[in-house]
Amino acid sequence: MSLIAPPLSLYVHMPWCVKKCPYCDFNSHGLRGEPPAYADYVHALLADLDADLRDFGAAVSGRTVHSIFFGGGTPSLFAPDLIDRFLDGVRSRVAVAEQAEITLETNPGTVEHGRFDGYLAAGVNRLSFGIQSFDDDKLRRLGRIHSASEAEAAVKSAQDAGYANINLDLMYALPQQSLEGALADVARAVALQPTHVSHYQLTLEPNTAFAANPPPLPDDDHAWAMQEACEQRLGEAGYGQYEVSAYAQPDRRCEHNLNYWRFGDYLGIGAGAHGKLSDVDSGTVRRRWKTRHPKAYLASPGGSDRIGGDGPVAADELPFEYMLNALRLIDGVPLADFSQRTGLPAERIAAALATARERGWLADAPPFLRTTPLGQRFLNDVIASFLD
């Protein structure tokens, strides 16, 4: 079956944060010494976009960007006028959907009173707050620079500025956290009435401070009990689970992340950003990522040195790449999407599908790929079964 171009998004990486958290394995760099040249970075971002549009040619020509996501790091370190300048530059280069979802991640410890008005005026219509917990002791253990009261004040300030689409990031299975503590975090989040909650387990990632010096974390059974209890509490409050770690009020799912999970296309610009594009003419799926360190990225705006890696995804890796995303969706995806997004025939995964269904990991619904509750609990095993 021929490859069909899916929706296109834009991911923008802002690599700086006030302080690197001990659990974080993202490409983020704590502020030290002289403040970064934020305006120069915006210039480099637009040069990066120009170069990608030129390099990808027909694969992006004439396509519309349906969502934009500023991730980090801490994008709210960038003043609203710089975000405005960048978005104006994007709109002058590519078609952006009139109702495009434009998300900016923000840390409650970096926001300034009045800034939310500026972000809204610039075109940012969705905010994502990195709360993680409403327990001050847990926040200290996580290395966060804000308190629970500051987090609540920041969210209310954004709502007062006119934001009606807000996500709160929460973590569970924190150091020495109890089930009651995890549920208390959910209760305080729901009380703020966000439209979306991302609720995910703290894990020890390689090359982090926590991996080198692990804190005392709840065991797997206790972590699973927290997940189930919090999932139930969020559901009772009107937040439907639509992805392993994502819960939303009706019609408030994150469109940008949905495009990832459906194996959509996205341009990735900024230090360490990753992108993925479907080249219909060649029938290949291509990935490109940018050099990680901000200084190296800024050294030659738009130059070839900004590229950390580039090339097509091998055909024998595509089933795993696709399932790594699609199987996170609670409702699943149509089986036909596999061929449309990878260019491979469904027969390529027939044996793996049969085995997963026999083990009770996938629902016995041939037109759909959908994990069962058992499959959701052992999702890593399910996904790994599609490795060639």
Task: Name 134's Cβ contacts closer than 8 Å, sequence gap at least 6.
Answer: 148, 151, 152, 184, 185, 188, 189
Phi, psi of 335 (to 5 degrees): -60, -30
Segment 235-275, tens digit of pLDDT: 999 999 999 999 999 999 999 999 999 999 999 999 999 99
- 3-state secondary structure string across 344-380: CCHHHHHHHHHHHHHCCCECCCCCEECECHHHHHCHH
Segment 322-359, tens digit of pLDDT: 999 999 999 999 999 999 999 999 999 999 999 999 99
Residue 232 CA to residue 187 CA, distance in Å, equals 12
Domain 8-259: CATH architecture, name and number where available: Alpha-Beta Barrel (3.20)
Q: Taking the domain 318-384, which CATH number applies? A: 1.10.10.10
pLDDT value, residue 326: 97
pLDDT value, residue 1: 61
pLDDT value, residue 114: 66
- DSSP tally for the chain: helices H, then strands E: 15, 16
Return the domain boundaries, the chain. Answer: 8-259, 318-384
Asked if residues 43 and 301 have their Cβ atoms less than 8 Å apart, the reply is: yes
Segment 187-228, tens digit of pLDDT: 999 999 999 999 999 999 999 999 999 999 999 999 999 999
- Residue 345 tokens read as 């025939």
Q: Is 202 exposed, middle or buried (0-12, 13-18, 19+ CB in 10 A)?
A: buried
Q: What secondary structure letter does DSSP report for 118?
A: H
Segment 55-114, tens digit of pLDDT: 999 999 999 999 999 999 999 999 999 999 999 999 999 999 999 999 999 999 877 656
Asked if residues 154 and 111 have their Cβ atoms less than 8 Å apart, the reply is: yes
Residue 295 CA to residue 307 CA, distance in Å, equals 13
Segment 20-57, tens digit of pLDDT: 999 998 989 988 877 889 999 999 999 999 999 999 99
pTM beyond 0.85, yes or no: yes
